[in-house]
Amino acid sequence: MSTFYINGTTLSNSTAVFTDSGLTTPAADGFYAAGTISREQANSVLLPAQTCPSCAEPCGGSIAASGSQGLYKVDIDFGGTNTDVGACVIRFNPASVPDGILVEFNGILYNKLSSQNYGLLQGSNTQLATYIGAIGSDGCGVNSGNYSQTIAVFNYAGGSFSNTGTSQLVTIPSGQSKLTQSQPGNSYMVIPKTTGAPSLANIQFIGPCSGTVFSFDIGCPALLPSLWSNVNPKTTRQLACESAGDGLIYHVPVNSSASAGNVKLHDYLFNDQFGADPVADGFYLLPNGSTVQCEFGIVTAVADSCAGFRLLDCNGTDLWTVNDRFQGQFSVGDVVRFRVSGANGPQGNILCGTIQQNTSGEDTNAYMYDNDIVADCSQSAKCDQPV
C-alpha cells in the first residue's frame, strides 16, 4: 500500500495530497479517502469532501458515545436496492445534558422528534438542529436563545468518533431549544425512503456544552404496519366514534407500551407506508373501537370512551361488540346489521345480531353496517348477505 502525505492535520482540512514528506511532489489526480471522507484531487488541488459510501455505517446498528463539546457526524447507509424502501426510524436519547440532532437525506433536512415522555419536540427552523435534554442540565445557555460557540468536529469511523482537527461555529436560536423539565427519554425521528437510491444519510449530533453523552439506533427502511381508520380526520371524538373507517393509516410506535398496530400516546401516524405524509390534525378511530387525537402526525390523546353494544349473532352462537355509530337510534332487543372487523377494515358478509346490552369503552371486533332496524333474524334478504 502506498504512503501519502497531506499539508494539513486531517484530510478534511488539507488542500493537497503529496507523495513525499517534504510536500514537494503532488500525488496523482484521483480520489483519496480517510475514515468516512473521500476527496478528489484535481490539478494537484483537493476538491470538497464527499462521503465515502463504503465507509458509511450500515443501518440496523446502535451507537453509544460520550465525549467533549463537539459536533459529531455519522454517515449511514440505508441500502441502495429497490427493496430498501420504507420508513427509517432513528431512536435518539441524549440523557439529560442538551444535545442537538439534524439529519440530511436526499437533499432534505429533518429535525422532528417524538419523545416517549413529551411527544413532539421540533425546532421552529427546520433547517437547524433540534436540541433536547433536561432544562436543569443546561450548563451552557442552550435555552437562553443566544448560544454561539465554535466547537470541534468529530467523524465516526471504525467504531468510534475521532477529532477531525476542524471546527465549526454553532449558533442556537431560542426556537431550536426544546428542552424539557426532565429527561426526554427515547426520542424518535422518521426518515422516509421511497426509492432505492440514494442510500446515504448524514446525521449530526451536537453537544454544545462542556461534555456530551448520547445513544442512538438507526433502523433500516421498512414499510410501516397499517391500521383501518377514517383517513379524513374528524373534528370531534364523538364523530370518530361514529365512523366505520374508510381507509388505511400507518403507525410508528414511540411509547414504550406501544407495538405495531397497538397505538399509544406520542406515537406517529402517517397516511403512507413510507412515513412521508403525517396524518392531518383531528380525531381517528382505531380498529379496536377506541379513538386518538393527532397533532402534527403525533398522537396527543387516546380515549376508549365510545358508547357501544354487545350483539348476539342470529345463529345464537357468537357475541360481538360494536360502537354505536348511530346515536340514539337503537336499543336493547333491536336486531341490527353488522360486519366483522378485519386487518384492512370490515370483512365478510353483512350479518345480523340482537343487541344484548349497552357498553362503553369496550374493545370492538365488529362494525355496525347501517342504521336499518331488522324486524327479526328470519329476514334472510337482509342478513348473511354479501356486500
Question: pLDDT tens digits for 42-79?
Answer: 889 988 766 666 678 999 999 999 999 999 999 999 99
Q: Are residues 142 and 238 in the same domain?
A: no
Indicate whether 221 pLDDT > 80: yes
How many helices and strands in the chain, by DSSP H and E? 1, 29
Q: Are residues 36 and 122 in the same domain?
A: no
Q: Which residues contact 159 (CB under 8 A, 6 or more apart)?
A: none
Q: Are residues 132 and 263 in the same domain?
A: no
Which residue among 303, 328, 357 closes a domain? Answer: 303
**Mean pLDDT throughout 359-366?**
94
Domain membership of residue 161 as a residue range:
56-218
**Is residue 21 assigned to a domain?**
yes
**Is residue 374 assigned to a domain?**
no
Asked if residues 225 and 272 have their Cβ atoms less than 8 Å apart, the reply is no
* DSSP helix/strand/coil, 168: strand
Which residue among 303, 331, 355 closes a domain? Answer: 303
Nearest to 352 by CA among 330, 287, 362: 330
Choice between 343 and 132, residue whose per-residue pLDDT is larger: 132
Q: Are residues 211 and 320 in the same domain?
A: no
Task: Give residue 95's identity as a one-letter amino acid code.
Answer: A
Q: Are residues 46 and 134 in the same domain?
A: no
**Is residue 85 assigned to a domain?**
yes
C-alpha cell at 195: 426509492
Q: How far is CA 226 from CA 120, 263, 345, in A?
A: 22, 11, 10
**Is residue 275 assigned to a domain?**
yes
Indicate whether 30 pLDDT > 80: no
Q: Say what percent of the chain tops pLDDT 90.
A: 80
**Is residue 385 assigned to a domain?**
no
Q: Are residues 48 and 76 in the same domain?
A: no
Distance CA(314)–CA(336), nearest Å, equals 10
Instruction: Work out the burial of residue 83: count CB atoms within 10 Å of its CB; fewer than 13 is exposed, 13-18 middle, 19 or more buried.
Output: exposed
Q: Phi, psi at residue 271, to the nearest 5°? A: -90, -5
Q: Are residues 91 and 205 in the same domain?
A: yes
**H or E element in which residue 237 lies:** helix 237-241
**Is residue 382 assigned to a domain?**
no
Asked if residues 148 and 68 have their Cβ atoms less than 8 Å apart, the reply is no
Q: Are residues 27 and 130 in the same domain?
A: no
> How many domains would you assign to the chain?
4
Indicate whether 142 pLDDT > 90: yes
Q: Are residues 108 and 147 in the same domain?
A: yes
Q: At which residue does the C-alpha cell 486531517 appear?
A: 10
**Is residue 381 assigned to a domain?**
no
- 145-165 residue pLDDT tens: 999 999 999 999 888 999 988
Distance CA(295)–CA(269), nearest Å, equals 10
Of the pLDDT bands very low, low, confident and very high (cuts 50, 70, 90), residue 1 is: low
Q: Are residues 47 and 66 in the same domain?
A: no
Q: Phi, psi at residue 373, to the nearest 5°? A: -85, 120
* DSSP helix/strand/coil, 214: strand
Q: Which residues contact 247 (CB under 8 A, 6 or more apart)?
A: 228, 229, 230, 231, 345
Task: Give residue 183's identity as a one-letter amino acid code.
Answer: Q
Q: Are residues 75 and 211 in the same domain?
A: yes
Strand-pairing partners, residue 335, are 354, 374
Q: Are residues 211 and 83 in the same domain?
A: yes
